[in-house]
Structure 1
Amino acid sequence: MLEVLQPTEEPGWVLAHEGYSVLTESAVESRFALGNGFLGMRASRSTGRGPTWASWLSYIRWASWPRCYVAGLFDMPNTEPPVPALVPVADWSRVRLILDGEPLVAREGVMLYGMRRLDMRRGVLLSEWTHRTPAGITATGHELRLLSLADRAVGLQLQRIVLDRDGIEVRLEASFGLAGLGMEPVRLENDLGAWRTEGTGKVVAMAGAASLCLDDASINPERPFPLRWIFRWPSKAGQVAEFSRLVAVARADRSAEDPAPRATAALERSTSAGWRAILERHEVAWDVNWSASGIRIEGDDDLQRALRFAVYHLTSAANPDDDRVSIGARGLTGDAYFGHVFWDTETYLLPFYTAVWPDAARSLLMYRYHTLSGARAKAELCGYRGALYPWESADTGEETTPETVLGPDGKPIEILTGKMEHHISADVAYAVWQYWRATGDDEFFRDAGAEILLETARFWASRAVAEADGRRHIRKVIGPDEYHENVDDNAFTNVMARWNIACALRALDLVRQRWPEHASALQDRLALDDRELDDWRDAIARIVTGLDTATGLYEQFAGFHALRQLNVADYADHALPIDVVIGREQTQGSQVIKQADVVALIALLPEAFPEHGATINFRHYEPRCAHGSSLSAAMHARVAARLGDADMALRYMRETASLDLDPDPNSAGGIRIAGLGGLWQAAILGIAGLNLMGETLELDPKLPLSWRRLSFKVRWQGRSVGLSVAADVVEATLIDGDPMDITVAGLTRNLEARSSLRVDLPSEAFRGVAEVCA
């Protein structure tokens, strides 16, 4: 067993954390979390921690926050206001080690050594520790944990324990901790448990098996309770105890369904295969994913590591086999935001999956298709037509944003995002179109994507109201910059809305041309007639955009430029967000921006910024942004890279990477997965200049001088393409699939099957933004 407990030796693949601090422990548990899109597990220490339960005293900090999650398992907890939340399931990793009747607990005695490693290459968590108890007994342990990427129902834990003396009565207890938390037990057997959520009636089944060997001889466990194993033996100094545990999990979304047979079957195939086969298949699955999604940077070891960390968590979060779930703002790594899904998924995550893992992208977009009914219901409730997607979504597609929360003074604070942050409908539409353009998945486009585009367009046409000035306005909204609420004609919202409507009209024409009978049936089902389509065309022509044609500058929203100017740089040294420092009223009355707003529009719709418009707007808004959101820096990095400002792009990329990689990050509630998706975008859509929306696969690189080479793979309409960007040349290889066209720096060439293409880059491609503006 010892050999598999060793980390990958190749540099840049392993993150390590030594020691323990109550101030950083929860953040480490988030950063090193395991996941496979169906199951998630925080990287809590399994041995030596005491029990965990909820404390009412807010000033007491948990030394650890162990959590295991099942994607899609939502229920309504006893909170005020009531909002659905992701339910933690039984913590199956905890091990109690009792020596001569005294439990080994980290806070007692002396922790001589403690190290946790996230081996991103293999997708495993590795731990080592040496502990001296108050009685003077020294115990040393090694551990491996994984959630299988080859069989998403399965988790594995291996432990190797050695004591330093003879004659100690050793008792090892392995159990499923907190098995009844928030759920009603409906079935408890020796190796199987099933629990039902009280409100939603969902059922989760968990099956387990455990074994322990001393010098290759098995010890029979005591089984006093279901899902609990107790092993006893007298110690010998230096003797190795090897413990292994398997878990298998299944979810049912209706109380009438029984997931227990699926969990039992998964456990049976796992125990039959054995832990070595499970580990090997898991590592092979990670190899396949790294081969498809890995990024190689020559010349920047820090960002190389950060991008691997990003790809690790992006891979861990998605499940292409379940199109009824999506990815929450913290993935399956923490409790922040209750597991809710935001615009983050479509805007910050989907480009990664679309480019390297289309099956996962399709599944995430099908989640939006399955929840169209909830989006339609919200639009109708708000007095509009079509589909208005919820700002926060769980499993049903209903709006889950709380209407009020209690402030520090105990007074209610109204939350307006669920009522006014409507741009999410256009964000979903954008992701649908981008996915179809990049993949050519006509079946999805015909059967699901077109309907999403049409229904979101219908919403925007009803939302954009014609007024006396002859223009159509979208009033009382919140754009990405949430520091300014209840504004009129937010440029991001309005321009994306206009794009959404135009794209829907184009989509309808395509469906009519290719599948006329389907188009006719779809129009009949949606009651979409020519009169309404004419209204859509009118909306495209008359929606206010905020663009000043004389200067090329968009006003972020009506009246933004009349607000007080504030030098954001004066507040750069404050640890707290700027709105906390200067107060809500001053923030709303100034031109300080929470996150990329018009800048995000530059990234998504560069065609809306002709000539030097992108540079003009970026240079105007970048100094006004306080980056009060973890989403912001990565989007600024992407745009800065496209404008040729490599220094600024790298600075923002490093800022994004530091959010979850710094020794003391504020990520106790889970990793910020949208920021990690944004980091990938900055490198691939920004620096490499990959465009997934064109007629061909397009690349327009602007490599920083400090980078010697950037290499990655991309999927394009059923093909796999390897790309390598150096200072003056791009090399493209068609790994599999039919011949295709590829456009590099504006030059289109044909790429033959199983052949490579070399394209020399013009020196103009690497001029900095200062030169462009000179």
Structure 2
Amino acid sequence: MDYSIGTGEFKDWIVAETAFSAEKLGKSEAVMMLGNGYMGLRSATEESYGQETRNLFINGTFNKSQENEVTELPNAADITRLDIRIDGERFSLEFGKISDYIKQLNLKTAQLTRSFIWESPKGKKLRFHFNRFVSLDNLHLIAMKMEVESLSHPVAISFDSGINGRMTNSGSQHFLEGERRILDDRLVQLTQKTNESGVEMVFNAVHNIRLNGENVMPAADKDMARRKVWMTYDFQLEPKEKLEVEKLATVHTSRDSGDGQRSKNSAQLLQKSLDELQHHAEKGYDALFQKHCQAWQEKVWGNYDFEVESDHPFDQLALRFSLYHLTAMQPPPAHEYLGIGAKAMSGEGYKGHTFWDLEIFILPFFIYSNPAAAKSLLTYRYHGLAGARRKAVENGYAGAMFPWEMAWPEDGETTPLWGDIDIVTGEQSKIWSGIIEQHISADIAFAVYQYEKVTGDSGFMERYGYEMVFETAKFWSSRLEWNEDREVYEIRNVLGPDEYKEHVDNNAFTNYMAYFNLKLAERYAEQLSSENPKLFQKFGVGDARLDWKEKAESLYLPNPRPIDSVIPQDDTYLQLPEIDLSTYKKQTKVRTIYRDYNAEQINKIQVTKQADTVLLFYLLEQTFLCGDARLSNTAKRENYRYYEPRTLHDSSLSLAVHAVVANDLGQTDMAYSLFRQACEIDLGPQMHTSDEGIHAAAIGGIWTAAVFGFGGVRLSDELLRINPRLPKQWRRMKFTLYWKGVALTIEITHQSLKATPHSGEVVFETGGKIYKADKLIEVPLTSEAQIHSGQPLQ
């Protein structure tokens, strides 16, 4: 991989692969995926290889292929494959000679390109160039272009192009046989329906062909087979002649309305999709690409405005990479039944399911940068309340017990029961997270709180937010267990964020987050009882409010130890034996500890998979609990000092949180190192880390580490706080966020902070002083300096 080839206007915008390997295809397929939130297309090559993974996912089309499997995003029909033959022999880069090879994703234009010169085993040279994009202007459009030029000899070239509905998810077929047809020698259509959820899909593709710059429409051989329809084109190229083929394709489903209902008018869906494709065909690739580029500029790059001046240009590229993928995974506007999976739509990993990754690691970007998208994603969780209530009842609890893995909102819990091999027993390992990893209900309540405080969206709270917080509080109230001897409520037999510690009692993160959830519900109930009695009556939480108050006050919250201010991660963690973790801390591949220990053994040593107790400080200091003595800066420092050496960061979620906390504590060199490691989860030199898809939470974490860490941006209960601390490698950073509906551009150097509100007023705190900004304010970043412009309120 090479990230330095961009020049001119595309400097630090290009993610490139400069050598081809048929054994290492997954890296570029995933990190260069194309998407627009409606669909995600893995960037497999046009010609096929044995180790490839060809994926096209349409958001929200979940299906269960067999009764004994969980629902997943089905791998939709393949539109991008071209079976190319040169002089009658299959074209492949595994044969012949390759020169000038480059495959690249331009983050600015969101276009994938691939070019190379290939010499066939017979000594014939051809230049190939491929372009592809998934439109942000029209969410249903996939566009491709292939150019082939003969450089040396006359050559016969033919290719098969069509729609292949034979795709599977690791062997599981999700679709019933559908209809196929070919029109006018250039347009193919295939329809399918998922076999369990009944989602209909319509795929169309049309071809525009030019030979030496002249439009041609040769007769094509037409073929159909089971779940497949295609056409074959044949050409003869003389030296210096060029063949250009545009393939424009559209995808529509019966769930496109965005209201959670399936369209029942199949004929209308077919005709609409055909009409749309004909319109695209008239415009052609280049005109459609320009509209696509314009959409990216207006909706993304011109809006988020993120700049970093660093000694290492990679940092700027990594932040753009983060913004690119966050956009590619963002569900379309008004599609509030769609979430974001742990791999987004870049691979089959985690089956397209949504985890707590969304609320804790991805949603903060949208809350501060695109509040409308954040609202839609939280509304997705609201639509999951029915499934969450059902899970609570099934487990003997009240309220809403949110699924650890969520797919279509009404599906409820979708976590598989069995996972990887146990290296000791040779059997499948039980996946406990769907049963006992319960902190997600409080994580969602935290996200509702964060959204409300940052945006001030009272309408969302009245329609969705209060109910989510109240229902999760009811769950926690019913979940607590009374310990008669200690005279406290406890939360026993759980799995905290540290998934290397199963079946523990009183995981600190879970207990404190449950406490926050109960106190938040109590506060909201009190607020409504005085400010909106009618709504308060509607929710019927009068008696529950007293119960939440009593349970919260009696809930066991592990205190920092007097000797060192360390909060026990759970009841037994600090009593477990320690081992030398240095080998695992230096690992280049995650989870190498499983080569030496199984889950039961890891459960009995002081080792942590990912941020757990450290994460607790980072979250709760943003809430009304920021003044709690148990969460003091001293405790934060000592817990980071204790747990960081014991944390292997074997989850991609972990590094960004530790980077933020390290920077808060003045360990900026360590923070920068962790930030770079977070960037390299997908962009690093290891060629198989992204085979199952990109790491969506880690990509959100790149933005988090930069903005919340180095930028020092933080929600401080009611106030926006900006206390930056740039690493020595950075000279300047600039970005835009939203606070209470007002866009605020922040520019930071080592000497000063500039804050520029756009069409409004923002109140923020920096350096212990509060400022009211209705125009540019510049604040020196030294305690003795005077204010350049603007006056502190206190």
| Common topology (TM > 0.5) | yes
Alpha-carbon separation, structure 1, partners of 2:283 and 2:457: 36
Aligned partners of 1:215 and 1:696: how far apart in 2? 63
**Given the alignment, which residue of 215, 235, 238 partners 2:237?**
235
Deviation at 1:472, TM superposition (A): 0.7
* CA distance in 1 between partners of 2:594 and 2:610 (Å): 12
Q: Offset at 1:156?
A: 0.9
The one-character-per-residue Cα deviations of 1:23-76 (angstroms, maximum 9, x if unpaired) are 4211221111111111111111113x25xxxxxxxxxxx421121111112222
Q: Which amino acid aligns with 1:132?
A: E
CA separation in 2, counterparts of 1:266 and 1:455? 44
Whether the 8 Å CA contact 2:65–2:195 is kept in 1: the answer is no
Quote the Cα distance in structure 1 between the aligned partners of 2:757 and 2:678: 32
* Percent sequence identity over aligned pairs: 30
Q: State the distance in 2 between where 1:211 and 1:272 align.
A: 9
Choose the corresponding residue for 2:281, options 243, 252, 271: 271
Amino acid at match of 1:638: V
Residue 653 (structure 1) aligned with residue 675 (structure 2): yes
Mark the CA change 1:167 to 1:591 in structure 2 (over 3 Å): closer, same or farther: closer
Within 2, Cα distance between the matches of 1:702 and 1:444? 34
- Pair 1:351-2:364 in alignment: yes
The within-5 A match list for 1:154-173 is: 154-165=141-152, 167-173=154-160
SS in 1 for 2:113: strand
**SS of residue matched to 1:365:** helix
1:519-555 deviations in Å (ceiling 9; x for gaps): 32232xxxx3x33211100111111111136353211
Distance apart, 1:295 and its partner CA: 2.4
Quote how far apart the aligned CAs of 1:7 are. 8.4
SS where residue 179 of structure 2 aligns? strand
- Structure 2 equivalent of residue 587 of structure 1: 602
**Partners of 2:95 and 2:730 in 1: CA distance:** 49
Aligned residue in 2 for 1:479: 496
Aligned to 1:30: 30
Aligned-pair distance for 1:587? 1.6
> When the two structures are superposed, what TM-score results if normalisation uses the length of structure 2?
0.89
Cα deviation, residue 456, structure 1: 0.7
Q: Deviations 1:423-457 (Å, cap 9, x if unpaired)?
A: 01111111111112111222211101111111011
Decide whether aligned partners of structure 1 residues 642 and 217 sit closer, same or farther in structure 2, where only a CA change above 3 A counts: same
Please report how far the alpha carbon of residue 414 of structure 1 lies from its aligned counterpart in structure 2 after TM superposition: 1.9
1:613 aligned counterpart, secondary structure:
helix
Counterpart-to-counterpart distance in 2, 1:455 and 1:7: 53
1:691-710 CA distance string (max 9 Å, x none): 23543332111112232111
Is 1:92 aligned to 2:79, yes or no? yes
- In structure 2, C-alpha distance between the alignment counterparts of 1:430 and 1:202, rounded to whole Å: 33
Do the aligned partners of 1:212 and 1:243 also contact (CA within 8 Å) in 2? yes
Secondary structure of the 2:75 match is strand
Q: 1:698-745 deviations in whole A, cap 9, x for unaligned?
A: 21111122321111100112111110011121101112x322322223
* Matches of 2:773 and 2:250, distance apart in 1: 45
Contact 1:320 1:359 in 2 (8 A): no
Q: Any stretches of 5+ residues in structure 2 without a counterpart?
A: 1-5, 183-187, 256-261, 786-794
- Equivalence for 2:295: 285
CA drift of 1:247 comes to: 1.2
1:599 aligns with 2:611: no
Contact 2:331 2:340 in 1 (8 A): no
Partners of 2:223 and 2:380 in 1: CA distance: 39
Runs of 4+ displaced beyond 6 Å: none
Verify the 8 A CA contact 1:348 1:678 in the aligned structure 2.
yes
Of 54, 62, 66, the match for 2:54: 66
* Matched residue, 2:330: 318
> Match for residue 633 of structure 1?
655
Counterpart-to-counterpart distance in 1, 2:676 and 2:411: 35
Find the partner of 1:404 among 404, 415, 418. 418
Residue 769 of structure 1 corresponds to none
Q: Separation in 2 of the partners of 1:28 and 1:135?
A: 29
Aligned partner of 1:431: which letter?
A
* Aligned with 2:249 (options 237, 247, 250): 247
Q: CA deviation at 1:304?
A: 1.8
> Considering only aligned residues, what root-mean-square deviation do their CA atoms show, in Å?
2.2
- The 3-state SS of whatever aligns with 1:186 is coil
Return the match for 1:214 from 208, 211, 222: 211
1:129 corresponds in structure 2 to 116
Between the aligned partners of 1:185 and 1:618, the Cα distance in structure 2 is 56
Equivalents in 2 of 1:276, 1:473: separation in Å? 62
Q: How does 1:715-754 map to 2 (within 5 A)?
A: 715-735=738-758, 737-752=759-774
Q: Is the 8 A contact 2:208 2:281 kept in 1?
A: no
Tell me, what secondary structure is at the counterpart of 2:640? Answer: helix
How far apart are 1:212 and its partner, in Å? 0.7
State the match for 1:462 in structure 2. 478
Task: Quickly say closer, same or farther: Cα 1:104–1:645, change in 2 above 3 A.
Answer: same
One-letter code aligned to 2:615: A
**Kept after mapping to 2: 8 A contact 1:420/1:478:** yes
1:303 aligns with 2:292: no
Question: How far apart are 1:397 and its partner, in Å?
Answer: 4.1
- Report deviation, 1:570: 4.4
Aligned to 1:438: 454
- Per-residue CA deviations over 1:362-395 (Å, capped at 9, x if unaligned) read 1111110111100010011111111111111111
> 1:772 aligns to what?
none
Q: Give the whole-Å Cα distance in 2 for the aligned partners of 1:720 and 1:554.
A: 38
- The code of the aligned residue for 2:435 comes to K
Match of 1:544 in 2: 556
- Name whichever of 407-416 and 702-711 sits farther off: 407-416
**How far is the alpha carbon of 1:324 from its aligned partner?**
1.0
Amino acid at match of 1:361: A
Give 1:88 deviation, angstroms: 0.8
Aligned residue in 2 for 1:427: 443
CA shift for structure 1 position 251: 1.8
Aligned to 1:57: none
1:441-485 CA distance string (max 9 Å, x none): 222111011111110111111112222122110111000001110
> Which residue does the alignment assign to 2:566?
553
Question: In 2, are the aligned partners of 1:630 and 1:659 still within 8 Å (CA)?
Answer: yes
The match for 2:63 is 75
Distance 1:509 1:397, change over 3 A: farther
Structure 2 residue aligned with 1:329: 342
1:187 aligned onto 2:200 = no
Which of 340, 354, 362 is the matching residue for 2:353?
Answer: 340
Which residue of structure 1 aligns with residue 694 of structure 2?
Answer: 671
Match of 2:584 in 1: 571
**How do 1:18-57 residues align onto structure 2 when only pairs under 5 Å count?**
18-47=18-47, 49-50=48-49
Distance in 1 separating the partners of 2:102 and 2:379: 41
Alignment partners' CA distance in 1, 2:699 and 2:458: 29
Q: How far does residue 179 in structure 1 lie from its aligned partner after superposition?
A: 4.7
Query: Aligned with 1:548: secondary structure?
Result: coil
| 1: CA distance, partners of 2:263 / 2:583 | 56
- The equivalent residue for 2:185 is none
The offset of 1:185, in angstroms, is: 3.1
CA change 1:406–1:733 in 2 (3 A) is closer
Task: Report deviation, 1:633.
Answer: 1.3
Q: What displacement does 1:162 show? A: 0.5
Q: Is the 8 A contact 1:491 1:598 kept in 2?
A: yes
The one-letter amino acid of 1:91's match is D
Residue number in structure 2 paired with 1:710? 733
- Gapped runs of 5+ residues in structure 1? 1-5, 51-61, 766-774
Q: Distance in 2 between matches of 1:356 and 1:717?
A: 11
CA distance in 2, matches of 1:424, 1:502: 16
Contact 1:157–1:244 (CA under 8 A) maintained in structure 2: yes
> Who is 2:539 aligned against?
522
The farther-off stretch of 101-110 and 114-123 is 101-110
